[in-house]
Structure 1
Amino acid sequence: MLKIMDSILTRQLYNPRANLVLAGKYRAMLLMTLAVVLTAIGVRHVLNPCALVELAQANQLIKSGFYSGWQQGKLVVLMRHVERCDHSTNPCLAQSDGVTRKGQSVALAIGSSLRSMGVTDADIYNSPLRRTEQTASLVFNRTTPGQEWLANCRKSMLDDVVSHKRDQHNLILVTHSECISQVEESLNVPNAQTLDYGSSLILSVDPKDHTAQVVGQLDAQSWARVLANRP
């Protein structure tokens, strides 16, 4: 039996017509396999879109439409408070439930860049907790209204953000990491990680249908680059 099988296989290998048939079959199999692989990649891309863009990298600030969105008053900045004293060994600025002196320096630097970008027409709110009150006061050099929904964030956090966004006015919210995470979850941000102290999630809100989409993120040190690269 083995000799018969070997004889048949040998004839097939040395038969040009048979080889063409086999080649056609293998080609069809390869094309089918390739189609399955490409489909799987496409589905994976849909289910797992690109990670959150770090806007300070390369030309992402321009590519993402950050500057034009800012000028048109379409952006929402969700900023996490700077370093909190009760979770740090650094000296407190004042009360133990506020921010540290290190956080103070970071907030002042953010404020210098943000105010140079222009926040006169922006709506600015903060959580009523002391660390967010102090952060907002340091960044904007003035007292801003406290909003309870920026501390006790719920599943409706994104709806609350959009409802407070006025057309042609940027919205800046000084809040907490868990509230920012709620927004990321609602917008299906993949592989979202907790933002560092003073970092911001940037959204764009369409003035027509008031839908929000993620523009990217900026860490605390990146605001100076935003100002330096402004067109």
Structure 2
Amino acid sequence: MQRSPANLRYVSASATREWVSAWQAGEVVALVRHTERCDRSTNTCLGPADGITQVGSVAAASVGRGFELLGLEKTELFSSPLTRTMQTAHYMLGHDAVAQEWLETCGPTIRDEMVAHKTPGQNMILVTHSGCIADFERQTGYPRAVAAEYGSAVLTRIDAQGQLKVIGIMNPEGWQHMNK
């Protein structure tokens, strides 16, 4: 059993084409961890202590550019209601996300919640927390996954029949190496 989903920066060109094609079809859900927290950093904060740092805003914008390269025409943006996730979403895509309580609490239902909230033909970007990503990974067969780093994304595919498959992880620096 794999410890963590595949790092998408290092997968084959054909594997990349496959998941990019799933994105273009509106079948992808990306669970994105918020960027650097103020209360765990000495970097300059962008407001309240429960928000993100200036460094975090730059990282979020970089992750957002990766999603923009894929195309955002068929994409819904949701976030945990906490300040750090809402700020991350805003700096990623330049607008506010729709707050969803289930992206804060997560637990044993996160996988089912993702499937239930997925609109056919629409990608979803879900800005959430490392604990929620860990909950999701445990529920999908990665019981000892490496902790999600700030700004990393776990990409999954949910097909028209509601079947979920983990595609892999894209860490923040991986987006810079993406070729469409």
Q: Same fold (TM over 0.5)?
A: yes
**Aligned equivalents of 1:117, 1:202: Cα separation in 2:** 13
Residue 215 to residue 58, structure 1, CA distance change in 2 (3 Å) = closer
Q: Which amino acid aligns with 1:63?
A: A
1:181 to 114, 130, 134: 134
Structure showing greater radius of gyration is: 1
- 1:130 matches 2:89: no
- 8 Å CA contact 1:107, 1:139 repeated in 2: yes
Task: Give 1:110 shift.
Answer: 1.4
One-letter amino acid of the counterpart of residue 88, structure 1: S
Runs of 4 or more, structure 1, over 4 Å off, are none
Contact 1:83–1:103 (Cα < 8 Å) also in 2: yes
Q: Deviations over 1:167-215 (max 9, x none)?
A: 111111000011111111111125301110000101111212x121111
Is it true that 1:146 corresponds to 2:99 in the alignment?
Answer: yes
Counterpart code for 1:221: E
Letter in 2 for 1:55: L
Contact in 2 for aligned 1:49/1:190 (Cα 8 Å)? no
The alpha-carbon deviation at position 49 of structure 1 amounts to: 4.4
Query: Counterparts of 1:58-73 in structure 2 under 5 Å?
Result: 58-59=11-12, 62-63=14-15, 65-73=18-26
Q: Tell me the alpha carbon deviations over residues 20-46 of structure 1, each in whole angstroms, 9 at most, x when there is no partner.
A: xxxxxxxxxxxxxxxxxxxxxxxxxxx
Listed as ranges, the gaps of 5+ residues in structure 1 are: 1-47
Q: 1:185 to 1:140 in 2, by over 3 A?
A: same
The 1:51/1:176 distance shift into structure 2, 3 A limit, reads: closer
Shift of 1:143: 1.1
Which TM-score applies when normalising by structure 1?
A: 0.74
Gaps (5+ residues) in structure 2?
A: none
Amino acid at match of 1:112: R
- What is the RMSD computed on CA atoms of the aligned residues? 1.5
Aligned length: 179
- Output one character per residue of 1:40-77: Cα deviation in whole Å (capped at 9) or x when no partner: xxxxxxxx247421000152x63152111111111110
Higher strand share goes to which structure?
2
**More helix as a share of residues:** 1
Ranked by relative contact order (alpha carbons within 8 Å, sequence separation 6 or more), the top structure is 2
% identity of equivalent residues:
35
| Inter-CA distance 152–91: structure 2 relative to 1 (3 Å threshold) | same
For residue 154 of structure 2, give the secondary structure of its aligned residue in structure 1.
strand
